């Protein structure tokens, strides 16, 4: 799955290249409020321009649910991309995506020129991976490049369906980087390999826990999900977030760790408060207690100081670290200490450090540790499925080397 043809392995001179990007950027009043995803897409686009390709970009934006929604038009993206690239990105404004404008624009293209198609989710077939729309997209090009990792766990027309009708299908630099880091970390890690999981619920990460337990040397659990594990150990967890239907599962995982000889680290102390903060960033009184001394009327909202040190210590001896999910209610500064401590331990190590998207990526960036990490995944859902050991349809669909 991981040895895919990349933009460095193909010849695009004079060819029409359809590139699936992730231009799903936040918009406010028609203005892009965070252009990270556009900037991240530039290396692949520039490479294809430099190689003399005729670059046809496509992406989804938001959830128009198969209907043209003017507020989800990609027009602002074309305008901003033109500025970032320093050359015109012509916008093909067809509500049917592959319409008269797109076809005419593609027909008139010269080598090194760039156009952008309308939001692929204007078409209802897109998320159903329908054949007709896949063929329409394929009819525009001779080569297909997928650089949208964020949607790689979904089989849609613009990342999977289209590949059945195009001879050459490669991945872009962004996809390649995700495959290299996440794939290598999980399947071929430099050891010791420490995986850190947090976030709200055990149920959201059942397969991630199980798969990482098999692959890593040490699995660290924090965040809301830790309390179901503590309860499974027979401890009182007060009013902490607990999923009673997953107690047996947690027991199974603890047994599995033991059988495999893996370390499974759980909080030894925890930061508690009488209730969940409301609003979430409200100033609250907290205290830290041992994990086996949580009062019945208190709620665990972050790992404790001793746990933070224990986790940091485990990170110190690692050569590969993968982290997904915050250690506590990090949206509240008083309850962000555990998450900050873990982020800092990752920032301080020479190990390969990989952040698996979503909240942990946001937390690391917010705390200013972004540039200290080896890799921050651009896809929350996609990176989780990677960590579950699943084949991602968008990756599988690209040609092998
Ligand atoms: P993504 O899947 O997008 O990567 P994530 O895995 O980083 O997300 P989630 O599972 O969505 O994270 O959980 C993050 C949420 O969990 C945060 O909003 C945080 O406030 C909450 N959380 C963390 N610890 C606790 C806790 N002890 N009690 C309740 N909620 C918690």
Establish whether residue 243 lines the binding site of ligand 1, counting it when its CB lies within 6 angstroms of any ligand atom: no
Average pLDDT over residues 317-326: 95
Residue given tokens 């199974």 in the structure block: 252
Q: Quick check: is 37 catalytic?
A: yes
pLDDT band at 366 (very low <50, low <70, confident <90, very high): confident
Q: Does the structure show a pLDDT above 80 at 357?
A: no
Element (H, E) at 55: strand 54-58
Give the burial class of 57: count Cβ atoms within 10 A of its Cβ; 0-12 exposed, 13-18 middle, 19 or more buried. Answer: buried
pTM over 0.95: no
Q: Quick check: is 316 catalytic?
A: no
- Flag the least confident range among 109-123, 137-151, 261-275, 360-374: 360-374
- Please give the structure tokens belonging to residue 99: 């319409």
* Cα 191 to Cα 180: distance, rounded to the nearest angstrom: 16
pLDDT at position 335 is 97
Distance 192 CA to ligand 1 centre (A): 26
Asked if residue 279 has a cis previous peptide bond (ω within 30° of 0), the answer is: yes
* Cα 365 to Cα 168: distance, rounded to the nearest angstrom: 36
Helix (H/G/I), strand (E/B), else coil: 358: helix
Q: Quick check: is 191 catalytic?
A: no
- Please give the structure tokens belonging to residue 9: 């392995």
pLDDT at position 280 is 96
Helix (H/G/I), strand (E/B), else coil: 221: strand
Average pLDDT over residues 341-368: 90
The active-site residue, picked from 358, 379, 380, 394, is 358
Smallest CA-to-CA distance from 281 within 334, 213, 223, 219 is with: 334
Enumerate residues 6+ apart whose C-beta is below 8 A from 338: 222, 271, 302, 303, 304, 307, 308, 327, 328, 330
pLDDT at position 338 is 96
Establish whether residue 223 lines the binding site of ligand 1, counting it when its CB lies within 6 angstroms of any ligand atom: yes
In ligand 1, the atom with minimum distance to the C-alpha of 198 is 6
The active-site residue, picked from 4, 15, 37, 215, is 37
Contact 60, 126 (CB under 8 A): yes
Please write the tens of the pLDDT for every residue from 154-207. 999 999 999 999 999 999 999 999 999 998 888 889 999 999 999 998 898 999
Please write the tens of the pLDDT for every residue from 32-63. 998 989 999 999 999 999 999 999 999 999 99
Please write the tens of the pLDDT for every residue from 125-160. 999 999 999 999 999 999 999 999 999 999 999 999
Average pLDDT over residues 5-17: 98
Q: Does the structure show a pLDDT above 80 at 259?
A: yes
pLDDT band at 246 (very low <50, low <70, confident <90, very high): very high
Distance 330 CA to ligand 1 centre (A): 8
Establish whether residue 338 lines the binding site of ligand 1, counting it when its CB lies within 6 angstroms of any ligand atom: no
Establish whether residue 200 lines the binding site of ligand 1, counting it when its CB lies within 6 angstroms of any ligand atom: yes
């Amino acid at each position: 799955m991981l040895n895919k043809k990349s933009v460095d392995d193909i010849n695009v001179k004079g060819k029409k290249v359809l590139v699936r990007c992730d231009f799903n950027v936040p918009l406010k009043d028609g203005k892009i409020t965070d252009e990270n995803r556009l900037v991240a897409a530039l290396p692949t686009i520039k490479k294809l321009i430099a190689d003399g390709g005729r670059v046809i970009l496509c992406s989804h934006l938001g959830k128009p649910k198969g209907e043209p929604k003017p507020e989800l038009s990609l027009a602002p993206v074309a305008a901003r991309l033109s500025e970032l690239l320093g050359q015109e990105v012509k916008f093909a404004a067809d509500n049917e995506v592959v319409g008269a404008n797109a076809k005419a624009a593609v027909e008139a293209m010269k080598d090194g020129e760039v156009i952008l198609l309308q939001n692929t989710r204007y078409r209802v077939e897109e998320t159903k991976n329908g054949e007709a729309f896949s063929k329409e997209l394929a009819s525009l090009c001779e080569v297909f490049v997928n650089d949208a990792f964020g949607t790689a766990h979904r089989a849609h027309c613009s990342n999977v369906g289209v590949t059945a009708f195009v001879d050459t299908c490669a991945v872009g630099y962004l996809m390649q980087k995700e495959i290299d880091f996440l794939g290598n970390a999980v399947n071929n890690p430099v050891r010791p390999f420490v995986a850190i999981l947090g976030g709200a619920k055990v149920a959201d990460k059942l397969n991630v826990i199980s798969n990482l337990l098999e692959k890593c040397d040490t699995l660290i659990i924090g965040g809301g999900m830790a309390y179901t594990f503590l309860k499974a150990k027979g401890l009182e967890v007060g009013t902490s977030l607990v999923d009673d239907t997953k107690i047996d599962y947690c027991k199974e995982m603890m047994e599995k760790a033991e059988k495999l000889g893996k370390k499974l680290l759980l909080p030894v102390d925890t930061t508690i408060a009488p209730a969940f903060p409301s609003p979430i960033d409200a100033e609250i009184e907290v205290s830290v207690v041992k994990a086996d001394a949580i009062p019945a009327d208190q709620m665990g909202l972050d790992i404790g100081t001793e746990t933070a040190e224990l986790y940091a210590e485990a990170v110190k001896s690692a050569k590969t670290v993968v982290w997904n999910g915050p250690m506590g209610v990090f949206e509240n500064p008083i309850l962000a200490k555990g998450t900050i401590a873990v982020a800092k331990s990752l920032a301080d190590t020479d190990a390969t450090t990989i952040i698996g998207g979503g909240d942990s990526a946001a937390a690391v960036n917010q705390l200013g540790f972004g540039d200290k990490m080896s890799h921050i995944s651009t896809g929350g859902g996609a990176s989780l499925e990677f960590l579950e050991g699943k084949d991602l349809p968008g990756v599988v669909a690209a040609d092998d080397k």
